[in-house]
Structure 1
Amino acid sequence: MIPSSPVVIAAAALLVLAVLLGIFRRLRAPSADARESKQAHEAAQQRDPPVDIGETYEFGVTELTDHHSGEEVAVGKVEGFVIFTEDVPGGLGKGDVIRAKVLSFNDGRTSADATFVSRA
């Protein structure tokens, strides 16, 4: 026999609500990757960039993506510092090593824009 007293029903409803709230909070919490990315971004804001404007650097392409300019750019890192490289040739892919010349920093100096120089 299932108890049907209002107290038991209310307790069961509260228990279900608590479980659902816990699941909802877990789903909305940032992932470990998102937390790590946020921490790296905050740390980057506290240090000087490891690259200089006008200098050329060699690095591996970690991804190809559409930049705010509307064109495809190669993304890579120098000492953990993100560089967005434009004017990349066709056929360039993830894992390729390139040389790029740094043109500018973003407002927070946490990344840089560069132009493709050559494949390494």
Structure 2
Amino acid sequence: MLPSSPVVVGAAAVIALLVVAVVIRRLRGPSAEARKSKRAHEAAQKRDPPVDIGETYEFGVTELTDHHSGEEVAVGKVEGFVLFTEDVPGGLEPGDVIRAKVLSFNEGRTSADATFVGRA
């Protein structure tokens, strides 16, 4: 039989607690925020987009993020519908109101790509 030092016993206890925490987390399922986001996404897939390709819309920028192309895009919503706006000028910040022309929808038609037209 191996001697059990306080360090070995403590390490074993920490590992056991981590395993229990992971198991409990898995059993609880997704967070309330994740469930809410999933429901919103599913509802968006069932409705027609409130924007049309070729039309220009005015909305507030909620965030700036990096596009897969490497360019910065402005993210905003029109009636809860997400628009990713390209070709934004420097100095644009969340909270700014812009106008953008819708270019295309994503595959699920739950968001659209647009191009910057101007500040509102």
TM-score by length of 1: 0.78
Relative to structure 1, the CA distance from residue 98 to residue 25 in structure 2 (aligned partners, 3 Å threshold; closer, same or farther) is farther
Number of positions where the alignment pairs a residue of Structure 1 with one of Structure 2: 103
Q: Distance in 2 between matches of 1:70 and 1:33?
A: 29
Structural mapping, 1:23-102, within 5 Å? 23-28=21-26, 29-102=29-102
Relative to structure 1, the CA distance from residue 26 to residue 83 in structure 2 (aligned partners, 3 Å threshold; closer, same or farther) is farther
How big is the shift at 1:69? 1.9
> Which consecutive residues of structure 1, in runs of 5 or more, have no partner in the other structure?
1-16
Q: Distance in 1 between matches of 2:33 and 2:60?
A: 21
> Which consecutive residues of structure 2, in runs of 5 or more, have no partner in the other structure?
1-15
Q: Distance in 1 between matches of 2:88 and 2:82?
A: 16
How big is the shift at 1:31? 2.6
Aligned to 2:4: none
Q: Distance in 2 between matches of 1:89 and 1:76?
A: 15
**Aligned partner of residue 93 in structure 1, secondary structure:** coil
Residues 35-68 of structure 1, C-alpha deviations (whole Å, 9 max, x = no match):
2111111111001000000000000000000112
How big is the shift at 1:89? 0.3
User: Which has the higher mean CA deviation after the structures are superposed, 34-43 or 95-104?
Assistant: 34-43
User: Which has the higher mean CA deviation after the structures are superposed, 110-119 or 31-40?
Assistant: 31-40
TM-score by length of 2: 0.78
Q: Distance in 2 between matches of 1:91 and 1:37?
A: 30
Q: Distance in 2 between matches of 1:25 and 1:56?
A: 49
**Aligned partner of residue 42 in structure 2, secondary structure:** helix
